[in-house]
Chains A and B, each alone.
Chain A
Amino acid sequence: MIEINHVNKWYGPTFQVLKDCTTSVAKGEVVVVCGPSGSGKSTLIKCVNALEPIQGGDIVLDGVKVNDPKTDLPKLRSRVGMVFQHFELFPHLRIIDNLRLAQEKVLGRKSEDATAKGMKLLERVGLKEHAKKFPAELSGGQQQRVAIARALAMDPIAMLFDEPTSALDPEMISEVLDVMVDLAREGMTMMVVTHEMGFANKVADRVIFMDRGEIVEDAKKADFFGTPRSDRAQKFLSKILQH
């Protein structure tokens, strides 16, 4: 579904954020990407739907080459859902209108259909009664659930999560993770940048560990949590699993 082949990326002429990254996510697979801050994991996931350009290598999404100038990027992006650290709901639109916007403007769905789809997804994330509210009237956890529903409204073939719980208060993390766990169990293809190792342990098929722009470790979940081969991954795990 997602193939990342020898991807290189620089910020400016000298600073290399991604160094020869190669990995893939198969259909229905859940891959967790972790690593210290500044390791390039967010950048990598943003390259998958071309929010960030790459300077070397290839990224292929469902058979379409992302870094081909001839690719219709808006169309390709509309098929991949993305959830951001800071939710990024559109503050001037009501919750239901946040869910309708891209359905209508990108997919060309009729207003009634988009509303019906939106309400169904709001119900699924437990926020149906908030449909008429504005984003700023919701808690962080609720906003993030809306953001997931907004991405799902496009009927995506895969979902990208960029630290979806990092900006949340501890008691709100689980409500967001619950939605993500359900999604994973339904067979959604997911690439998740997160430090939630509990989530990784529960639903991930594979775990990728990144450090300084390199994919240091790319292993099955059991192998990763059992015996990570690299020192750096071991150190990282011991630090975040300490408490």
Chain B
Amino acid sequence: MNYNWNWHIFLEPNPMGTGTYLDLLLTGLVVTVKVSVLAWIIALVSGSVIGVLRTLPSRTASWIGFCWVEFFRNMPLLVQLFLWFFVLPELLPRSAGLWLKQLPNAPFWTAAIGVGLFMSARVAVQLQAGITSLPRGQKQASTALGLTTVQTYRYVLLPMAFRIILPPLTSEFLNTIKNSAVAITIGLIELTGEARSMQEFSFQVFEAFTAATVLYLLLNFVVVTAMRFLERYVAIPGYITGK
């Protein structure tokens, strides 16, 4: 293989005039962090609501939960992003579609919402599993004390359910970060996107993607470490994962 390795490329100025190639990648990293965090918030909030709906005795509630989860988990993420980005504006009334297309930063918002909704289905299923894994008597005891259903979830069921599903939730957070890379297909220049443009400008493809890989690893390491601290912080003395 005829390849000129050049690890100094990162310190050379990029053709965009925004500093070095490293700066280019770091700009991409910031976009990745922003879009992932926003997507994760959307996934956590909507996933939690849907997860709770799936555990309620009401038929309507569990039907809504069922539809939501099956819609968002049974379609490839790529297809979902295309749907929101290319198809949705065409389906809306002309003026609304136009407004949507002209939104500043449309790829960013589409990616955050698209990835967020995709991940929400997974959060919902996990939270449902967490809630149903609690002894049935917990809900009965809370109800017998006079707490309403909302209070029972807020003060009794959810604090335990979230503690139980914290380890798998960490994986889902990492998946959200990795899935955000799909957003280059709708024109979001995040970390993977910047690595690709670095490759196109400099032809140093291996260096570019090695750097991107290392940055993803570092980012995920930060998340894993933070989640481990959180797990320790919320651990209950004497109970399962507690010390």
Instruction: Select one of A46, A78, A86, A136 contacting B145, CB under 8 A.
Output: A78
B135 in the interface (beta carbon within 8 A): yes
The reply to whether the CB of B238 lies closer than 8 angstroms to some CB of chain A is yes
Question: B79 near A: Cβ within 8 Å?
Answer: no
Q: Is A82 a contact partner of B146 (Cβ separation < 8 A)?
A: no
* Contact flag A49-B144 (CB < 8 Å), given A84-B137, A136-B237: yes
Chain B residues, CB < 8 A from A236? none
Most buried by A among B138, B140, B146: B146
Q: Which residue of B lies closest to A46 (CB)?
A: B140
The answer to the question of A90 belonging to the interface, with a C-beta cut-off of 8 Å to chain B, is yes
* Identity of the chain A residue whose Cβ is nearest the Cβ of B237 in the assembled complex: A134
0/1 per residue, A58-69, Cβ < 8 Å to B? Answer: 000000000000
Q: Are B137 and A91 in contact (CB under 8 A)?
A: no
Asked if B146 contacts A88 (CB within 8 A), the reply is no
Q: Which of B138, B147, B160, B163 contacts A74 (CB 8 A)?
A: B147
Q: Is there a chain A Cβ closer than 8 Å to B242's Cβ?
A: yes
> Does B225 have its Cβ within 8 Å of any Cβ on chain A?
no
A88 to B239: give the CA distance in the assembly, Å: 14
Cβ proximity bits A76-100 to B, threshold 8 Å, 1 near / 0 not? 1111111011101111100000000
Looking at A101-109, A171-179, A205-213, the stretch in contact with chain B turns out to be A101-109
Q: Given known contacts A92-B160, A136-B236, is B137 in contact with A78 (CB within 8 Å)?
A: no
Indicate if the CB atoms of B141 and A88 lie closer than 8 Å. Answer: yes
Neighbour of B238 across the interface among A79, A82, A137, CB < 8 A: A137
Contact of A102 (CB < 8 Å), options: B135, B137, B140, B146:
B146
Q: Does B159 contact A (CB under 8 A)?
A: yes
Residue among A46, A92, A151 with the highest chain B CB neighbour number at 10 A: A92
* A134 & B236 in contact (Cβ 8 Å cutoff): yes
Report the minimal beta-carbon distance from A142 to chain B, rounded to whole angstroms: 12
Q: For A107, what are the chain B residues with a Cβ–Cβ distance below 8 Å?
A: 146
A132: min CB distance to chain B, Å = 10
Q: Chain B nearest CB: distance from A13 CB in Å? A: 17
Interface check A154, CB cutoff 8 A = yes
Whether the Cβ atoms of B238 and A136 lie closer than 8 Å is: yes
Taking CB atoms, residues of chain A closer than 8 Å to B147 are 74, 101-102, 105-106
Complex interface: chain A residues within 8 A of B60 (CB): none
Q: A90-B155, A151-B145 are in contact. List 19 more A-B contacts (CB 8 A).
A: A51-B144, A74-B143, A76-B146, A77-B143, A77-B144, A82-B141, A88-B135, A90-B138, A90-B156, A91-B160, A92-B163, A101-B155, A102-B146, A106-B145, A106-B146, A134-B237, A134-B239, A136-B242, A147-B141
7 sampled A-B residue pairs with Cβ under 8 A: A51-B140, A74-B146, A81-B144, A85-B137, A88-B135, A92-B159, A92-B236
